[in-house]
């Protein structure tokens, strides 16, 4: 394949990954890593290195727009980032010593479980009625723009210690798999902490860049970040994330949940099968 054609294909795939990452809070890595390993036969560790760089780009591109629009909760993001950063350093250390087949299968299991959790039913207004005094004491209570009603919807945060512990696990997965752990972060905030879905996805986008940066340094030091691969990936993801940020404001939550579940379930099955067959 000609080099220019290869770069354009990588850019196009990364654009789609960035678009989905911004819409769902996944960070794009869940699409990028299967794309690079299965379609372009890139070694999984180099794919993870490029993904981590792209995750930082996604966060930079989409998070600024979400903060400006009033969707991201910066205080929640900074509080939970303490846990995810510690976990990311541990995960990156473990990833450089684990076989790629094992990484692929762990990746697939995490994605399928995340897809199943994301489709479980929950009241959309549960976050608005929950009462937790620590939500106010830590300054996490806030409101986000509600396009359907033309105003703002208030919410509080529940089960903060459980959410913090889950975020440590999300950080480990980020460093281990290079996905920014957006799937786990969104589910932790949405299902455990009862934060509205749009706030969960936008705050996840705000957080994933810091988490990825914590583990990207380890991959860079070990030579798993290839600039020739990371550069078109980063540009594509950044362009896609900026478009996704504009689309999300006017999207329905139910549609976002469906996209979230379908994409990561399909990719999860592919990664398990190919890891089991030793094709990654």
Determine the pLDDT at residue 121.
47
Segments forming the whole domain that contains residue 61 = 3-276
Q: Residue 74: which pLDDT band, with cuts at 50, 70 and 90?
A: confident
Q: Report d(CA 186, CA 261) in Å as an integer.
A: 12
* Percent of the residues in the chain that have a pLDDT greater than 70, as a whole number: 77
User: Residue 253's pLDDT is what?
Assistant: 61
What is the CB neighbour count within 10 angstroms for residue 140?
20
Q: How many domains does the chain have?
A: 1
- Count of Cβ atoms closer than 10 Å to residue 254 Cβ: 10
Average pLDDT over residues 45-73: 76
pLDDT greater at residue 15 or residue 183:
15
Rounded to an integer, the average pLDDT of 190-202 is: 80
pLDDT at 123: 42
DSSP-assigned letter for residue 189: I
Whether the predicted model's global pTM rises above the 0.75 cut: no
Most confident range (mean pLDDT) of 4-13, 59-68, 101-110, 155-164 is: 4-13
Q: Are 106 and 37 in contact (CB under 8 A)?
A: no
- pLDDT computed for residue 178 by the predictor: 66
Residue pLDDT, tens place only, 101-139:
787 787 778 778 767 766 654 444 444 455 666 667 777
Report the SS3 class of residue 63. Answer: helix
User: What average pLDDT score do residues 214-238 get?
Assistant: 84
Which residues on neighbouring strands pair with residue 145, listed in sequence order? 152
The rounded mean pLDDT for the chain is 76
Q: For residue range 137-186, list pLDDT tens digits in order.
A: 777 777 777 655 567 777 788 888 888 888 888 788 777 776 666 667 77
* Interatomic CA distance for residues 237 and 209, integer angstroms: 13
pLDDT on residue 71: 75
Q: pLDDT at position 127, please? A: 44
d(CA 154, CA 136): 12
pLDDT at 249: 66
Place of tokens 């690079």: 36
pLDDT at 124: 46
């Amino acid at each position: 394949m000609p080099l220019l054609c290869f770069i354009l294909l990588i850019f196009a795939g990364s654009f789609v990954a960035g678009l989905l990452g911004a819409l769902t809070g996944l960070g794009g890595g869940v699409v990028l890593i299967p794309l690079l390993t299965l379609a372009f036969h890139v070694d999984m560790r180099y794919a993870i290195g490029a993904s981590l760089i792209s995750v930082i780009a996604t966060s930079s591109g989409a998070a600024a727009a979400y903060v400006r629009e009033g969707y991201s909760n910066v205080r929640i993001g900074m509080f939970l980032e303490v846990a995810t950063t510690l976990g990311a350093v541990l995960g990156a250390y473990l990833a450089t010593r684990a076989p790629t087949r094992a990484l692929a299968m762990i990746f697939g299991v995490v994605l399928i479980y995340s897809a199943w959790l994301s489709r479980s039913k929950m009241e959309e207004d549960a976050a608005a009625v929950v009462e937790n005094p620590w939500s106010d004491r830590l300054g996490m209570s806030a409101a986000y723009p509600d396009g359907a009603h033309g105003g703002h919807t208030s919410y509080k945060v529940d089960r903060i210690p459980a959410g913090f512990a889950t975020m440590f696990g999300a950080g480990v997965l980020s460093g281990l798999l290079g996905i920014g752990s957006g799937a786990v972060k969104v589910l932790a905030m949405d299902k455990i902490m009862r934060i509205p879905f749009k706030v969960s996805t936008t705050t996840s986008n705000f957080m994933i860049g810091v988490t990825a940066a914590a583990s990207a340094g380890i991959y860079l030091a070990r030579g798993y970040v290839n600039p020739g691969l990371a550069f078109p990936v980063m540009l594509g993801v950044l362009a896609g994330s900026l478009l996704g940020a504009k689309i999300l404001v006017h999207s329905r939550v139910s549609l976002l949940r469906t996209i979230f579940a379908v994409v990561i379930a399909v990719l999860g099955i592919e990664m398990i099968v190919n890891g089991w067959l030793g094709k990654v």
